[in-house]
């Protein structure tokens, strides 16, 4: 060890002990030295005596001695300073060593415990930064390769400390803010005895030279260290001569270290306040009611009254424009983020719907055709990989970050709200000059939150805004990539299609005309199918059925004739049993109770009820004939008329029209002739002998002449086929 | 063998030959499958075009909502870039709308019309089936009379039954023939009918796919400019500094 180059009054050397964790032994040695020194000086002084010569000599000696004393004092100071510097450096080294041991050895050993202790990593959360900054400090010192005795060493020390001060602050402040978590976790370990014993064993084996009884023994070291820097630096300063070249720097360093501590404490306080108010606990109404007590009710009513006073203008509102601007921006951001998230979720929902309906999975048995195959391939490519990739990218790059951002908004929102509450509280006591302890606390809380928000909110706003914009940029990039992919896909197929040569508009004209053509063809097909296949078969009636038909038609009119579609079994009284194909006439379409599905029918004598679902209107080959005029004319008159008729044939057939019989008519007497529906007829006279136009004299094929009711005849333009009759 | 009460053992005279019946069945099955597939494709197409349109509308809403947000009033750069993004989205939406309209006309409507033919075809097949049943019934009646002794009344009844049978048989045969003709033709017509639809489907999407990249590119440029400007923005010095952790502690405090 180099010794300061000064004339040494004493011959002994400083017994410098080996570096140890405690600084006491060297100090004691120095003290001993100093005592010895003084003793020797005193001895020297008492030996000198009374004579004048001696006085001058004494004075000289005294002067020399005082010089010597000064020198000695200076040297002692220098030595102390050196020791102090040494202490700082050595303790730093030791501290670093222990920290590293803890972090690497102890931690890995603890992790190997079965089962590993819970939350182990949270105890070592910020320690790495602390180790980092500490080792950087030491390496800066070692780089210069100067010995601590050299005055330059002090300068280097101060410089390195100052240069690293911001980093030191950052690293330690996180660590300190997190320290309460560490103690919490360790307490949870202590609760489990077996685990705790294991942990202690591990600690003892990992770091044997230190008698530690808990993890916090090591983990508390950074907390102690940062508070120690000011002490160490001040000790050095105390022992440093103000004329020392590095004195100012040292002073500055000492101040910096004190300032560091102040900042770190303030930060810790901020964090505590923030943690307290940031979280919203989901409280049920019951919990909320339980929480009410006189104190909280008093608090809340006081706040409410203050707010009302503001709104009504009784008390002036403390307007903090800066804060209001920040809050305004925050609100706007919040709104924007929530809207964006909602819209993005809608977008993704629709995308997923699109992916779900797989239009490529159809099978028209058209596998020989190019167009459907191309389409299938395109659609498959889209749905199997292009769009799923797009969806996944959207999820990870946009949706997830947005969700995280939205969750982050909760904290500031709560703090802003709490600040308002505290502001109201604060305003009420602001005017008072003598604040009680609780009131001071309230005031402090308000100020803390306010400062916190004023500091942090701008940065938060800025970062959130940036995130939003970058997400929008990503959105657009994703779309662009998707579009490029799709373009490639389609281009590869476009050449294969037959009409690819047509330009855009021409193609659509062609496509639409084709579609119309196809529709038209479909319609004709439909119609032809309907016509030919849906004509119902008309069965010829058995004679008994014909009788029945006539009877019913006579009685009720042909409009009411129905045919039974299936066998009817009557269940209630007055119900009829009918066979399939029977002809009945409907008398009433409703029964006595109002049931419209039960019709009163006449089945040739029998009357009763039948279900309307089994009755089908009976269409005679043509529409039911109108009532025959037979009923209205008395027999004799008819007979008289019929005996005279002129054989004259009137060419009543219009050259362009053909008269046909519209309905079957069976002649009942000799003067009437039977005609069948659709039969072409020649009308001889459009009235009978008496001039009654209801009867016409006609001639049928085969030459038969006779009377036929006029309204049974119809006129059709020539050339049209008569209504088809399935027989004869 | 009239003393045998059961008729199961007796071979039924086949009115309609097995081959014909099998052909008919086969054709009809093909048509039924085609009907199912047409309906499915129609439904899927409809849903997918609706989802497509909804997607582009949602994209427009994203940009529109942000444009109306007061954030844009504060900074001119933001306003410009937001407006550019909005224009890009709206243009994409317009293309999409056009595409959907074209698909509606050339694919979805024809599909619907095609499905509309099937009910009448099914009805026709049902009628044919009914006619077949009637035919079989009357045929067995005639055969029953034919097997009986040839007495007077029996002969009359036989004659009547034959009279009844004739129109029914003719009707059935007409229906059968028509269907056997029409069904394969209709089945085959699907190729020509749907060919333009598929081409249109591909062409419509191709047209949009070509236009989209240009539209999207403009939006990207705008957003890129914004993020560049943000880097220089004074309000977030944290963004400039390198280390993520160190930049975020203030924000972390609020966020944690």
- H or E element in which residue A561 lies: strand A561-564
Interacting residues of A411 by C-beta distance below 8 A, sequence separation 6+: A274, A278, A279, B254, B255, B256
pLDDT for position A389:
92
Q: Is B52 on the interface with A (CB under 8 A)?
A: yes
Gap between the Cα atoms of A308 and A304, Å rounded: 6
Gap between the Cα atoms of A602 and A117, Å rounded: 97
Q: pLDDT band at residue A12, thresholds of 50, 70 and 90?
A: very low
Q: What is the mean pLDDT of chain B?
A: 77
Q: What is the mean pLDDT of chain A?
A: 77
Q: pLDDT band at residue A279, thresholds of 50, 70 and 90?
A: low
Least CB–CB distance from B59: residue in A347, A415, A493: A347
A364-388 residue pLDDT tens:
877 777 888 888 888 888 888 899 9
Say whether B105 and A512 touch across the interface (CB within 8 A): yes
For residue A501, the chain B residue with the least C-alpha distance is B203
Say whether B251 and A476 touch across the interface (CB within 8 A): no
Provide the token pair at B143: 């055969």
Three-class SS state of A75 = helix
Where is the domain boundary, A594, A617, A640?
A617
Interface test with A, best of B40, B46, B62 (most A CBs within 10 A): B62
Please check whether residues A406 and A366 belong to one and the same domain.
Answer: yes
Please check whether residues A555 and A576 belong to one and the same domain.
Answer: yes
Task: Please determine, for residue A45, whether its predicted confidence score (pLDDT) is greater than 50.
Answer: no
Please check whether residues A477 and A594 belong to one and the same domain.
Answer: no
CA distance B89 to chain A (A): 9
In three-state form (DSSP H/G/I as H, E/B as E, the rest C), the secondary structure along A582-638 is CEEEEEECCCCCCCCCEEEEEECCEEEEEEHHHEEECCCCCCCCCCCHHHHCCHHHH
Half-sphere exposure of A396 (CA within 13 A, CB side): 5
In a domain, A133, yes or no: yes
CATH number at residue B206: 1.20.1270.60
Q: pLDDT band at residue A15, thresholds of 50, 70 and 90?
A: very low
Task: Please determine, for residue A47, whether its predicted confidence score (pLDDT) is greater than 70.
Answer: no
Range of the domain at A421: 318-495
Say whether A515 and B109 touch across the interface (CB within 8 A): yes
Task: Please determine, for residue A515, whether its predicted confidence score (pLDDT) is greater than 80.
Answer: yes
CA distance A539 to chain B (A): 7
B44-75 residue pLDDT tens:
999 999 999 999 999 999 989 888 888 777 77
- Give the ranges where A279-409 is alpha helix by DSSP (H): 285-291, 294-312, 321-356, 370-381, 387-394, 400-408
- Please report residues of B whose CB lies closer than 8 A to that of A339: 65-66, 69
Interacting residues of B160 by C-beta distance below 8 A, sequence separation 6+: A542
CATH number at residue A597: 2.30.30.40
pLDDT for position A36:
52
Least CB–CB distance from A494: residue in B47, B160, B206: B206
In a domain, A311, yes or no: no
Task: Please determine, for residue A286, whether its predicted confidence score (pLDDT) is greater than 70.
Answer: yes
* CB burial readout A299-310, b (16+ within 10 A) else e: eeeebeebeebb
- Please report residues of B whose CB lies closer than 8 A to that of A415: 254
A412-468 residue pLDDT tens:
888 888 888 888 888 777 766 677 787 788 788 888 888 888 888 888 888 888 888
Task: Please determine, for residue A249, whether its predicted confidence score (pLDDT) is greater than 70.
Answer: yes
pLDDT for position B42:
92
Give A266: exposed, middle or buried? Use CB within 10 Å, 0-12, 13-18, 19+: middle
Q: What is the number of CB-based contacts under 8 A between chain A and chain B?
A: 296
pLDDT for position A727:
42
Quick check: A333 and A465 in contact, CB under 8 A?
Answer: yes
Provide the chain A residues 412-451 that lie in CB contact (below 8 A) with chain B: 412, 415
Say whether A473 and B223 touch across the interface (CB within 8 A): yes
Q: Is A335 on the interface with B (CB under 8 A)?
A: yes
- Please report residues of B whose CB lies closer than 8 A to that of A344: 62
Provide the chain A residues 635-664 that lie in CB contact (below 8 A) with chain B: none
Please check whether residues A402 and A444 belong to one and the same domain.
Answer: yes
Quick check: A17 and A29 in contact, CB under 8 A?
Answer: yes
Say whether B44 and A363 touch across the interface (CB within 8 A): no
Give the residue among B254, B251, B252, B248 at the shortest CA–CA distance from A411: B254
- H or E element in which residue A562 lies: strand A561-564
CATH number at residue A374: 1.20.1270.60
CA distance A75 to chain B (A): 45
Please check whether residues A336 and A417 belong to one and the same domain.
Answer: yes
Say whether B117 and A540 touch across the interface (CB within 8 A): no
Q: Is A268 on the interface with B (CB under 8 A)?
A: no
Q: Is B251 on the interface with A (CB under 8 A)?
A: yes
In a domain, B175, yes or no: yes
In a domain, B10, yes or no: no
A679-705 residue pLDDT tens:
888 888 877 777 787 888 888 877 788
Q: Is A472 on the interface with B (CB under 8 A)?
A: yes
Range of the domain at B62: 18-255
Please check whether residues A512 and A470 belong to one and the same domain.
Answer: no
Q: pLDDT band at residue A541, thresholds of 50, 70 and 90?
A: low
Half-sphere exposure of A470 (CA within 13 A, CB side): 14
- Please report residues of B whose CB lies closer than 8 A to that of A350: 51-52, 54-55, 58
B153-205 residue pLDDT tens:
888 888 888 888 888 888 888 888 888 888 888 888 888 888 888 888 888 88
In a domain, A297, yes or no: no
In a domain, B7, yes or no: no
Gap between the Cα atoms of A215 and A120, Å rounded: 11
Please check whether residues A420 and A455 belong to one and the same domain.
Answer: yes
Please check whether residues A598 and A686 belong to one and the same domain.
Answer: no
Say whether B254 and A274 touch across the interface (CB within 8 A): yes
A50-103 residue pLDDT tens:
567 777 777 888 888 788 888 888 788 778 888 888 888 888 888 888 888 888
Say whether A534 and B127 touch across the interface (CB within 8 A): yes
Where is the domain boundary, A470, A495, A520?
A495
Give the residue among B69, B143, B89 at the shortest CA–CA distance from A333: B69
Gap between the Cα atoms of A710 and A628, Å rounded: 10
In a domain, A41, yes or no: no
In a domain, B142, yes or no: yes
In a domain, A372, yes or no: yes
In a domain, B25, yes or no: yes
Q: Is A278 on the interface with B (CB under 8 A)?
A: yes
Say whether B239 and A462 touch across the interface (CB within 8 A): yes
Interface test with A, best of B29, B35, B58 (most A CBs within 10 A): B58
ipTM over 0.85: no
Per the structure, how many domains does chain B have? 1
Gap between the Cα atoms of A41 and A34, Å rounded: 10
Give the residue among A700, A698, A672 at the shortest CA–CA distance from A685: A698
Say whether A519 and B250 touch across the interface (CB within 8 A): no
Task: Please determine, for residue A619, whether its predicted confidence score (pLDDT) is greater than 80.
Answer: no
A323-376 residue pLDDT tens:
888 888 889 889 889 999 999 999 999 999 999 888 878 888 777 778 888 888
Say whether B253 and A358 touch across the interface (CB within 8 A): no
For residue B45, the chain A residue with the least C-alpha distance is A359
Please check whether residues A347 and A375 belong to one and the same domain.
Answer: yes
Per the structure, how many domains does chain A have? 5
In a domain, A642, yes or no: no
A468-494 residue pLDDT tens:
888 888 888 888 888 888 888 887 877
Say whether B238 and A362 touch across the interface (CB within 8 A): no
Beta bridge partners of A680: A660
B105-139 residue pLDDT tens:
888 998 898 888 888 888 888 888 888 888 888 88
In a domain, A706, yes or no: yes
Cα–Cα distances in angstroms (integers) from residue B21 to residues B167, B171, B179, in the given order: 21, 17, 12
Please check whether residues A146 and A243 belong to one and the same domain.
Answer: yes
Say whether B199 and A333 touch across the interface (CB within 8 A): no
In a domain, A48, yes or no: no
Q: Is A369 on the interface with B (CB under 8 A)?
A: yes
Quick check: A196 and A190 in contact, CB under 8 A?
Answer: yes
pLDDT for position A345:
93
Gap between the Cα atoms of A633 and A626, Å rounded: 15
Gap between the Cα atoms of B17 and A201, Å rounded: 96
User: For the residues B32-43, what does the mean pLDDT come to?
Assistant: 91
Please check whether residues A455 and A517 belong to one and the same domain.
Answer: no
User: For the residues A380-408, what does the mean pLDDT come to?
Assistant: 90
Q: pLDDT band at residue B2, thresholds of 50, 70 and 90?
A: low
Please check whether residues A444 and A517 belong to one and the same domain.
Answer: no
Interacting residues of B159 by C-beta distance below 8 A, sequence separation 6+: none
User: For the residues B207-213, what does the mean pLDDT come to?
Assistant: 77
B174-183 residue pLDDT tens:
888 888 888 8
Gap between the Cα atoms of A505 and B226, Å rounded: 39
For residue B181, the chain A residue with the least C-alpha distance is A529
């Amino acid at each position: 060890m180099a010794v300061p180059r000064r004339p040494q009054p004493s011959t002994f050397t400083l017994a410098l002990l080996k570096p140890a964790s405690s600084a006491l032994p060297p100090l004691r040695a120095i003290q001993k030295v100093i005592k010895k020194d003084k003793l020797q000086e005193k001895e020297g002084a008492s030996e000198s005596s009374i004579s004048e010569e001696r006085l001058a000599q004494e004075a000289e000696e005294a002067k020399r001695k005082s010089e010597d004393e000064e020198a000695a004092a200076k040297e002692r100071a220098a030595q102390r300073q050196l020791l102090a510097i040494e202490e700082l450096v050595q303790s730093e080294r030791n501290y670093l060593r222990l920290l590293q041991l803890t972090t690497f050895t102890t931690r890995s050993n603890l992790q190997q415990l079965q089962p590993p202790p819970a939350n182990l990593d949270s105890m070592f959360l910020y320690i790495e930064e602390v180790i980092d900054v500490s080792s950087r400090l030491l390496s800066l010192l070692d780089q210069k390769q100067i010995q601590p005795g050299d005055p330059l060493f002090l300068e280097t020390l101060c410089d390195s400390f100052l240069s690293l001060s911001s980093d030191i602050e950052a690293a330690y402040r996180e660590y300190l803010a997190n320290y309460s978590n560490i103690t919490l976790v360790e307490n949870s370990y202590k609760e489990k005895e077996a685990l705790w014993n294991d942990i202690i064993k591990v600690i003892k084996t990992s770091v044997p030279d230190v008698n530690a009884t808990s993890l916090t023994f090591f983990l508390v070291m950074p907390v102690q260290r940062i508070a120690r820097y000011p002490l160490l630096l001040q000790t050095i300063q105390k022992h440093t001569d103000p004329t020392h070249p590095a004195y100012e720097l040292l002073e500055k360093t000492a101040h910096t270290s004190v300032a560091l501590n102040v900042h770190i404490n303030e930060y810790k306080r901020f964090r505590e306040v923030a943690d307290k108010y940031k979280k919203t606990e989901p409280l049920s109404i019951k919990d909320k009611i339980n929480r009410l007590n006189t104190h909280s009710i008093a608090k809340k009513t006081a706040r409410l009254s203050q707010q009302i006073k503001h709104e009504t203008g009784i008390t002036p509102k403390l307007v903090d424009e800066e804060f209001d601007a920040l809050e305004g921006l925050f609100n706007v951001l919040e709104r924007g983020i929530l809207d964006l998230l909602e819209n993005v979720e809608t977008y993704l929902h629709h995308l997923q719907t699109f992916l779900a309906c797989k239009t490529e999975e159809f099978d028209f048995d058209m596998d020989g055709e190019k167009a459907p195959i191309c389409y299938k391939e395109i659609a498959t490519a889209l749905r199997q990989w292009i769009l799923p990739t797009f969806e996944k990218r959207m999820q990870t790059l946009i949706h997830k970050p947005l969700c995280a951002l939205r969750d982050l908004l909760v904290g500031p929102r709560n703090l802003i709200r709490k600040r308002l509450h505290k502001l109201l509280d604060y305003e009420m006591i602001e005017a008072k000059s003598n604040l009680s302890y609780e009131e001071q606390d309230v005031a402090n809380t308000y100020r803390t939150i306010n400062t916190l928000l004023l500091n942090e909110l701008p940065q938060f706003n800025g970062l959130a805004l940036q995130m939003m914009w970058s997400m929008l940029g990503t959105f657009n990039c994703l779309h662009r990539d998707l579009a490029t992919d799709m373009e490639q896909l389609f281009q590869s197929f476009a050449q294969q299609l037959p009409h690819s040569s047509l330009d855009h508009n021409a193609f659509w004209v062609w496509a639409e005309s084709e579609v119309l053509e196809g529709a038209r063809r479909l319609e004709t097909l439909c119609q032809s199918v309907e016509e030919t296949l849906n004509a119902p078969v008309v069965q010829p009636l058995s004679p008994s059925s014909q009788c029945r038909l006539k009877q019913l038609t006579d009685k009720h009119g042909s409009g009411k004739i129905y045919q039974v579609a299936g066998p009817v079994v009557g269940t209630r009284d007055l119900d009829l049993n009918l066979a399939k194909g029977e002809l009945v006439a409907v008398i009433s379409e409703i029964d006595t109770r109002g049931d419209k599905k039960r019709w009163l029918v006449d089945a040739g004598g029998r009357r009763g009820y039948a279900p309307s679902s089994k009755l089908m209107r009976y269409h005679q080959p043509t529409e039911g004939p109108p009532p025959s005029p037979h009923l209205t004319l008395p027999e004799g008159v008819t007979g008289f008329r019929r005996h005279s008729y002129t054989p004259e044939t009137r060419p009543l057939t219009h050259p362009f029209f053909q008269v046909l019989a519209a309905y079957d008519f069976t002649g009942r007497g000799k003067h009437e002739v039977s005609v069948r529906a659709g039969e072409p007829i020649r009308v001889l006279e459009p009235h009978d002998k008496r001039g009654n136009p209801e009867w016409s004299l006609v001639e049928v094929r085969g030459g038969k002449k006779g009377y036929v009711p006029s309204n049974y005849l119809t006129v059709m333009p020539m050339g049209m086929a008569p209504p088809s009759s399935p027989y004869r | 063998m009239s003393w045998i009460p059961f008729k199961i053992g007796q071979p039924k005279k086949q009115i309609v030959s097995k081959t014909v019946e099998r052909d008919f069945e086969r054709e009809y099955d093909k048509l039924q499958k085609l009907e199912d597939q047409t309906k499915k494709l129609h439904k899927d197409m409809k849903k997918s075009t609706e989802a497509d349109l909804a997607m582009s509308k949602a994209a427009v809403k994203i940009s529109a909502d942000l444009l109306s947000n007061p954030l844009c009033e504060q900074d001119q750069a933001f306003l410009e870039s937001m407006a550019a993004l909005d224009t890009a989205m709206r243009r994409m939406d317009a293309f999409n709308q056009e595409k959907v309209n074209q698909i509606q006309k050339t694919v979805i409507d024809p599909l619907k019309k095609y499905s509309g033919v099937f009910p009448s075809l099914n009805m026709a097949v049902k009628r044919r089936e009914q006619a077949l049943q009637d035919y079989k019934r009357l045929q067995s009646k005639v055969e029953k009379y034919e097997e009986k002794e040839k007495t007077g009344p029996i002969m009359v009844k036989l004659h009547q039954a034959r009279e009844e049978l004739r129109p029914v048989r003719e009707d059935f045969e007409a229906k059968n023939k028509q269907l056997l003709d029409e069904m394969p033709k209709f089945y085959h017509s699907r190729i020509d009918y749907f060919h333009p639809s598929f081409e249109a489907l591909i062409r419509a999407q191709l047209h949009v796919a070509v236009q989209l990249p240009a539209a999207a590119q403009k939006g990207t440029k705008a957003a890129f400019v914004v993020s560049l400007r943000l880097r220089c923005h004074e309000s977030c010095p944290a963004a400039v500094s390198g280390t993520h952790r160190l930049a975020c502690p203030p924000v972390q405090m609020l966020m944690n």
